[in-house]
Structures are given as C-alpha cells and as structure tokens.
Amino acid sequence: MYDVIIIGGGPSGASAGIRAGKLGLKALLLEKDKFPRYKPCGGGLSEHAISYLDFELPQDLIEWEVTGAKVLFRDQSIKAHKDRRLSVLVSRDKFDDFLLEKAKETGIEVNTGEKALCCREMPDCIEVDTRQETYQAKFAIIAEGAHGLVKTCVRPADNREEYGICLVTEIPAEERELEERLGNTVELHFGVAGGGYGWIFPHKTYYSVGVGGVARDFLHPKKIMLEFLEKNDFSGEYKLHGHKIPLGGIKRKIVGSRVLLSGDAAGFIDAFSGEGLAYAIVSGQFAAEVIAGICLQGGNLKDLSKYESLCRAEFGTHLKYSLMFSRIMHRFPDRTFKVFTSSDKMIDKFLEVVDLTIDYKDYLRWCLLNFKLR
Ligand SMILES: Cc1cc2nc3c(=O)[nH]c(=O)nc-3n(C[C@H](O)[C@H](O)[C@H](O)COP(=O)(O)OP(=O)(O)OC[C@H]3O[C@@H](n4cnc5c(N)ncnc54)[C@H](O)[C@@H]3O)c2cc1C
C-alpha cells in the first residue's frame, strides 16, 4: 500500500513526485512513455514558472532568453521589451526528463513505460490498474495531461468549447538566423486561429512554430497551420504535431474522495496565452503537500478539499480572468486587437502579466481605464 500513486510524469506529476519524496511520502509514479520523450509545446517557461522550482534551473536547459514580444494582428505589428528576462525557452524532452530525474533522486518509485488504465476510488483506498499490475494507495494524483481518460473517475471529459487544439512543428535554424529574425523576442500572431493565435519562438537550434485555437472555432487546423508557415516564409516539409490544450478558468471538479487532479488534467491553463507549465508545477506540489498533511500529520479525508482552496488562492482568479479577457478579445477581434496592437502601452503593460507582476484582473481594469481615457 502506497501513500500516493501519481499518474503521469510530465511537469505536474514530476513536481508532485519531487514534493512527495521530499516530504517522506511512500509514492509510486507511473508514466506511460519511456523518457526522454517528445511533447508538443512552445517551450516557453516564464519567470513565474521558474519561481516555483525549488532548485536552480540548469544553464544547459536554457535555450533562449526572452525579454519582449512582437504582437501582430493582420497588417499591424508592435514590439515591446522589458529590461528584465520574462521567460526562457526550453525543449520539453530535456526539461521534462530533468524534472523526472529530480523526482527519482528523492527516492520515490518511478515506473516509466507503464500506463495507468484506470483509477478506482474505494472506501479505504484507491486502486490503479496497469497491464502489469493492480496497485493500491491511500490517494492518487492524476497528472496525465490534457489527453487520457483516467481523470474521468473525477470529472467528465471536456467538450469542444472547453479545450483548444494546437499544431506545432520545430524548424531547424542556425543560431545567427534566429538571432537576426527574433532577437530576444517571441512573435505572437493574432487573427490567425479562432480563439487563439500563431507563434514563432526561438530555441537554440530551431524555431518552434505553431497555431492554436478553441476547438469549436478552429475547424481546419492543418490548413491554417500550412498557411501560417507559408506566410512566414517557412517553405519546407515539416512534421506537424497536434495536441489538445484545456481552456483554463472553467469550473471543473478537481477533487474526488481520494483523488486529486493536477496540471492540464485539472484544466489549469491561461486561456489567453496558453501558458500551463507554471500551474502544472505548483498544482502538483500542492497536491503532494495536502496528501502529506493527511498521511503524515494526522489529517483526515475532508482535508483533501484544501487542495482546491490552495489552487484557487494561488492562481484561480488569474485563470478566471484570463478566460474573460480571452473571450472579450476574440469576440470582437477587429476592434479589440486593433487597439491592442496600436499602442505600445498596451503591450508593455501586457508583458507584466507574462511574468505575473500584475494579474489579468488588474490588466483588464487598467485596459478599461485606458479605453475610457481615449
Ligand atoms: C502545442 C502546445 C504548446 C504549448 N506551449 C506552452 C508554452 O510555451 N509554455 C507553457 O507554459 N505551456 C505551454 N503549453 C501547455 C503545457 O504544455 C502544459 O500545460 C503542460 O505540459 C502540462 O503539464 P502536465 O504535467 O499537466 O501534462 P503533460 O505535460 O501532458 O504530461 C502528462 C504526462 O502523463 C503521461 N500520461 C498520460 N496518460 C497516462 C497514463 N494513463 N498513465 C501513465 N502516464 C500517462 C504522459 O505520457 C505525459 O508524460 C503548450 C501546450 C501545447 C499543446
């Protein structure tokens, strides 16, 4: 009998594993893939996300440093910079592998190449079936990401209004070309995909290029991605990777009787920017802490609900307002993005949301005030 079984070894599951191991929980982490594995992602790791890591991010994982953004809407574009680093770019195969190794170092058991098939909540324990074994634990953390249906033991799968679809590819390039084209900025192209955007991010040896939008409004992702590539002078044959991305800010059930959902499985994504790594990491840590409180400090089952309060207090309002902001912007794109890309001040202020110096609620308030002043 384990204290906790963690399903999924991505950033959320690995962060739960690191915290569980450090706190002394008897934990088993199941990951269906052998690591390192490819994960479709832009690889943007914000300063806010880095602040949750309880260790130094190794320099060799940092492929690029970002201080600003170029935001485009149709024929308009605008650039803004800060005098500080806002985020770094990492390759997810390396970053995720590093985190999972950190989890192993704490002494927890990590089985890669072993997929959880289902998770059952029983009165006294949970049971997790894999093809090899049935495991028992007092609690489970489901960190299986956006795909996968183990989470349906707690909540129904998302419908097409509740998740987005992304297509991404990596395009090899020389460091000098990346430097000349992007410098320390990322490019965000609005008006490309329904309810989302296209991006071009610099990594050390490649561009990450992708498009993402709300599934309901983004009907021909492959066609749009090919047009986006062509329009931005990427003319080769590229392998495209598709992935779901939940829309954050929607109320979802994340606590069962003995199960907690974390990261993308819980829907913790900024609905406007698509950032999820920060919330994946911190929610995994919170999940492990709450379970440790029950198993090691004499707490009771009811304390499981503390997880929801912790997440709400840390980033609940921010994600709720990211959804509101996203819906306002995409409802009347011609009006809103025109204003967004016509004023340096708007983008400059938005960069403060990127590293969470201010949250979406403050940003929205600031925007309304500025609209009124116009
Ligand atoms: C195209 C794209 C671009 C993105 N770009 C960014 C970005 O630039 N910055 C950012 O902050 N966020 C970005 N995101 C969001 C970010 O990728 C996610 O928020 C983050 O990966 C969530 O981490 P996670 O651990 O919850 O899930 P995942 O990273 O999806 O990890 C889940 C893990 O669980 C494993 N698993 C699944 N099912 C099972 C099972 N049944 N049993 C065992 N293991 C299982 C999977 O193999 C996987 O390793 C992007 C998302 C997409 C789709």
pLDDT by residue, tens only, the chain of 374 residues: 999 999 999 999 999 999 999 999 999 999 999 999 999 999 999 999 999 999 999 999 999 999 999 999 988 899 999 999 999 999 999 999 999 999 999 999 999 999 999 999 999 999 999 999 999 999 999 999 999 999 999 999 999 999 999 999 999 999 999 999 999 999 999 999 988 999 999 999 999 999 999 999 898 999 999 999 999 999 999 999 999 999 999 999 999 999 999 999 999 999 999 999 999 999 999 999 999 999 999 889 999 999 999 999 999 999 999 999 999 999 988 888 888 888 888 899 999 998 899 999 999 999 888 865 44
295 residue type, one letter: C
Q: Determine the distance separating the centroid of ligand 1 and the alpha carbon of 96, expressed in angstroms.
A: 9
Q: Determine the distance separating the centroid of ligand 1 and the alpha carbon of 144, expressed in angstroms.
A: 8
Question: Do 341 and 315 lie in a common domain?
Answer: no
Atom of ligand 1 lying closest to residue 40 CA:
1
Which candidate, 68, 65, 57, 27, places its Cα nearest to that of 352? 68
d(CA 103, CA 221): 36
Asked whether the beta carbons of 125 and 81 are under 8 A apart, the reply is no
Question: Do 204 and 350 lie in a common domain?
Answer: no
d(CA 14, CA 219): 34
Residue 312 CA: distances (Å) to CA of 144, 211, 319: 21, 29, 9
Ligand 1 mutation pick, 15, 32, 133, 279, max ligand atoms within 8 A of CB = 32
Question: Do 154 and 236 lie in a common domain?
Answer: yes
Question: Do 307 and 368 lie in a common domain?
Answer: no
Q: Determine the distance separating the centroid of ligand 1 and the alpha carbon of 151, expressed in angstroms.
A: 14
Count CB-CB contacts under 10 A for residue 20. 32
Question: Do 31 and 119 lie in a common domain?
Answer: yes
Atom of ligand 1 lying closest to residue 201 CA:
8
| Model pTM score | 0.97
Q: Determine the distance separating the centroid of ligand 1 and the alpha carbon of 305, expressed in angstroms.
A: 24
Which candidate, 76, 66, 124, places its Cα nearest to that of 258? 124
Question: Do 361 and 309 lie in a common domain?
Answer: no
Q: What is the pLDDT of residue 373?
A: 45
Question: Do 221 and 282 lie in a common domain?
Answer: yes
Q: Determine the distance separating the centroid of ligand 1 and the alpha carbon of 12, expressed in angstroms.
A: 8
Question: Do 181 and 105 lie in a common domain?
Answer: yes
Question: Do 239 and 106 lie in a common domain?
Answer: yes
Q: Determine the distance separating the centroid of ligand 1 and the alpha carbon of 365, expressed in angstroms.
A: 31
Question: Do 83 and 136 lie in a common domain?
Answer: yes
d(CA 156, CA 253): 9
Question: Do 310 and 189 lie in a common domain?
Answer: yes
Q: Any idea what the CATH number is for the domain that residue 216 is in?
A: 3.50.50.60
Q: Determine the distance separating the centroid of ligand 1 and the alpha carbon of 154, expressed in angstroms.
A: 19
Domains: count for the chain: 2
Atom of ligand 1 lying closest to residue 35 CA:
49
* Residue minimizing CA distance to atom 31 of ligand 1: 10
Residue 307 CA: distances (Å) to CA of 199, 252, 258, 303, 310: 33, 13, 12, 8, 5
d(CA 368, CA 374): 10
Q: Determine the distance separating the centroid of ligand 1 and the alpha carbon of 146, expressed in angstroms.
A: 7
**Which domain, by its residues, includes 367?**
332-373
* Residue minimizing CA distance to atom 48 of ligand 1: 10
Query: Last residue of some domain: 286, 304, 325?
Result: 325
d(CA 204, CA 224): 26
| Strand arrangement of the beta sheet that strand 64-66 belongs to | 44-46, 87-89, 64-66
Question: Do 225 and 348 lie in a common domain?
Answer: no
Q: Which residues line ligand 1 (CB under 6 A)?
A: 7-13, 30-33, 39-44, 115-116, 143-145, 148, 150, 166, 168, 210, 243, 245, 263-265, 269, 274-277, 280
